A = this chain, B = another copy of it.
Amino acid sequence: MSKKINEKLVIFALGGVGEIGKNMYVVQYGNDIVVVDSGLKFPEEEMLGIDIVIPDITYLLDNRDKVRAILITHGHEDHIGGLPYVLRQLNVPIYATRLTMGLIESKLKEANLLGDTKRHIITAESELPLGVIKATFFKTNHSIPDCVGVCLETPEGNVVHTGDFKFDQTPVNGHFADLHRMAEIGTKGVLMLLSDSTNAERPGFTGSERSVGIELESIFSKAKQRVVVATFASNIHRVQQVIDAAEATNRKVTVIGRSMVNVVSIASELGYLRIPEGMLIEPEEVNRMASDRVVILSTGSQGEPMSALTRMARATHRKVDIMPGDTVIIAATPIPGNEKYVGRTVDELFRLGAHVIYGPGSVSGVHVSGHGSQEELKLMLNLMKPKYFMPIHGEYRMLKLHSNLAEDVGVLKEDIFIVDNGETVEIVNGIARKAGRVQAGNVLIDGLGVGDVGNIVLRDRKLLSQDGILVVVVTLSKQEGKVLSGPDIISRGFVYVRESEGLLDEANRIVTTTLNKLMSENVNEWASLKTHVKDALGRFLYEQTKRRPMILPIIMEV
């Protein structure tokens, strides 16, 4: 490919480094930009009231004429979930494998964007000319089928993005990671490797998904009553194994939970799930079947409050009740932050008399990770033999440990780039260096609002959540120079008024005294009156309660 003078290769993340989620990586050569993935992230606990988080794509909007494509590596939310928001602002072609596209289309349909979006289905054999950049792909293993890694051939050299991966030596669907293609890419030469760091903290190899299937069949065959299996809807290999184990043990399967129903329907339509004729039954039929003939495949493996499993555990599901003696399998590991929710769900299930199989996959046998552990990360590095390495897809500690692994297999320390979102790496004439930042960050989505909740609103929510708010309403008489009526004090989230009358009476008195004194001194500016009321009342309440409610004085004059 032609290489122009002054053109350079620039690589950066708009999301996905220093965090798990909202993956979006950018490779630019001159006037051509290729974006890899477009994910969302679930909010951190301090992002109160926020529903989801997506990357700030200002850089792409400012360079919209250069963006040739968004390539999607696989169909997980942290890789496709941002698309509806991004495509609404930036209508560029998207490329994905068949299953991935099926999952994307379901999203775009809901967002009413299906008609306007240029969608292209690729296979691992596709070659895409995207300006001066050529994209090719290679098959990988992960917890969802039809995953690919991406090789971007640029005039400066090849940039490889692994996508999410593990090396499963006995994959459920017989689709092996394409070691040969990876070896070939490595032989041709990789200038820069971007590789998945999720499990960089875990020694050894990640287990094969197949081991879960064996365990499931053993549990199904021993269970004397119904079996409920909760797992991630998108883990289609796992879903297939549940169906296979049901078939082997002469059970029927019913599917509950919105996302599970949706994914099973898309995946089976597209041929990614093999479901024997008559295997699926409606939830309503469950109660009419012998209990040892039924498997319930459900969402809720993270203990999500509104999920099907949580409803069953609380005995509030409309269609399915858990009976004493039923077996419930939670085939997933809690995502950090969800441990307590999962624990509570397990507690409720035990209270209903269920036999619950849960806990780390190494103990329960019913879960393996979709991401490669340290030995697999080294295997990828050794296959690709990159000159430069950028660990991606992980919290900082994971990126750091992944970079240690890269050093272990021979990548030079100075050739490893641990970056923040927005921090660019430029490669010119084979020499890579960090080169400034582009705008990057979190765009918070709350209800329909995209980006309208910022730090001030979040700070207020935090304050309100800790000690509540007191609204103080008072009417002043200018003429008489004193409080005319009020103060009325309204508490929300501070104290329960009926039980704190003494405190609030005294608070009233302090507000009146403060205002009368100020006015007698001819202090009349509203801002000053309000500040004095806030200070005096805040001090009193802190002394009395050691709490700091937000205080909102409303002063009217007549």
Contacts and interface: CB of A to CB of B under 8 A. Distances in A.
B545 A49 contact: no
A319 B335 CA distance: 36
A500 B446 CA distance: 14
Interface in A440-484: 446-449, 452-454, 456-458, 460-469, 471, 473, 475
A552 B457 contact: no
A125 interface: no
Given A203-B363, A337-B339, A465 B465 contact: yes
A201 interface: yes
Interface stretch (A253-261, A392-400, A421-429): A392-400
A547 interface: yes
A473 B473 CA distance: 9
A49 B466 contact: yes
Contact of A457 (B44, B359, B395, B468): B468
Contacts of A493: 48-49, 457-458, 460-461, 463-464
A432 interface: no
A462 B468 CA distance: 9
A467 B49 contact: yes
A187 B432 CA distance: 75
Interface in A490-507: 490, 492-496, 499-500
Interface string A519-556: 00000000000000000000000001111001010101
Given A493-B457, A495-B449, A547-B447, A471 B347 contact: no
B339 A336 contact: yes
A356 interface: yes
A45 interface: yes
Nearest to A547: B447
Q: Closest 7 CB pairs between A and B?
A: A447-B546, A465-B465, A464-B464, A460-B493, A347-B396, A461-B493, A49-B466
19 contacts: A18-B347, A48-B465, A49-B465, A201-B359, A203-B363, A346-B397, A448-B544, A449-B547, A452-B495, A456-B496, A457-B493, A457-B495, A461-B465, A461-B493, A464-B468, A471-B471, A473-B473, A556-B556, A558-B558
Interface of A: 18, 44-45, 48-49, 201, 203, 336-337, 339-340, 343, 346-348, 350-351, 356, 359, 363, 395-397, 400, 446-449, 452-454, 456-458, 460-469, 471, 473, 475, 490, 492-496, 499-500, 544-547, 550, 552, 554, 556, 558
